[in-house]
Amino acid sequence: MRKRVSLKKWIAVGILMIPLVCASKARSGEWRVTPIQLTFGREAKSGVITVVNEAAEKLQVQLKAFEWTQDPEGKDQYTETNDILFFPRILILEKAEERIVRAGIRMPAVAKEKTYRLFIEEIPEPKKPEGVNVSIAIRFGVPIFVKPIKEEAKGEIEKIEMANGTFHARMKNTGNLHFIVRSVTVKGKNPNGGEIFSKELSGWYLLAGASRDYTTTLPQEVCLEVSKVVVEVKTDKVTLAGDLAADKTMCSP
């Protein structure tokens, strides 16, 4: 006799950075959404999202809007909001069917970009008790950006330090609209300027006014040889760089 298995899986948009940043559409299980983000401003105060069912069975999804902020550590925070107008709130799609969702913004453009996510969440069909049943619930969050009146992209590396062989840098978005951090590269150089250490760290969205820490540990034998550590941050809007003069005292507890 086969056992019944119950599994619930939540997938939020953007866990994989490359598809999020580069693709014009996103797939979740056997359904997809296009476009993967909406941008509102003076010229465009509303938009359309298309949900396509590529499964062999009927698909049912529900939608909820959340304000998207980041805490002092740069972690995403969500609060349900009425700022976003959208319709319908529930979609039922037959096999190979596609439906559109209309979305708009109540709030006008302000001095600082407003950020939201419209979550599209699959409602799994009830399964029969016989056999092996796997129930998967997928949630996909479409970013919505409301442009500020005047866009200003700025950032800084506000702190660089190293202790116990661990390098630490803090990046702050000092502008009024979001960044997509594509990469953070840390390089260690010896007294002759030769590169003896390199580490690339993954990035993510950094919203206006938010900060995020990036940390990596140098191997002890490499750390003792390093005289300078350089960090370079590449985003979709600006590139930032900083460096730290290093010595052996930064490598030991």
Question: What are the residue ranges spanned by the domains of the chain?
Answer: 17-146, 155-247
pTM metric for this prediction: 0.82
The reply to whether CATH 3.30.70.330 applies to domain 17-146 is no
Query: Quick one: how many helices (H) and strands (E) in the chain?
Result: 2, 19
Tens of each residue's pLDDT in the chain, 253 residues: 333 333 233 333 333 333 333 345 655 568 999 999 999 988 888 999 999 999 888 999 999 999 999 998 899 999 999 999 999 999 999 999 999 999 999 877 789 999 999 999 998 876 656 655 555 678 899 999 999 999 999 999 999 999 999 999 999 999 999 999 999 999 999 999 999 999 999 989 999 999 999 999 999 999 999 999 999 999 999 999 999 999 999 998 7
- Tokens 């702190």 locate to 159
Q: Do domains 17-146 and 155-247 have the same CATH topology?
A: yes
Could you tell me the fold of the domain covering 155-247? Immunoglobulin-like (2.60.40)
Question: What are the structure tokens assigned to 73, written together?
Answer: 């550590």
Q: How many angstroms separate the CA atoms of 12 and 9, rounded?
A: 10
